[in-house]
Amino acid sequence: MTDSSKARANIVVFLAVLTLSALTMVWLFWHHPVKTAIATIAVLAALGVSARLARAIEAESASDLEHSEPSV
């Protein structure tokens, strides 16, 4: 399999997963709008909290590296 056909296959798989995910979300929202909306907000909130925690941890570890003495 050449590199271009591998890349094409990866793109097709990515688009298939993206389409399946979108269709699942639309179906769930159509049949269970309130539950789906609550779950979506909860997932987005969890991702937001994770991003803030990651930034805080990254900033903390960067400041620890600045204040540490270089090893010989």
| DSSP result, the chain | --HHHHHHHHHHHHHHHHHHHHHHHHHHHHH-HHHHHHHHHHHHHHHHHHHHHHHHHHHHHHHHHHHSPPP-
Q: pTM of the entire structure?
A: 0.59
Domain ranges (residues) in the chain: 1-31, 32-63
Per-residue pLDDT tens over the stretch 11-68: 999 999 999 999 999 999 999 999 999 999 999 999 999 999 999 888 877 776 666 6
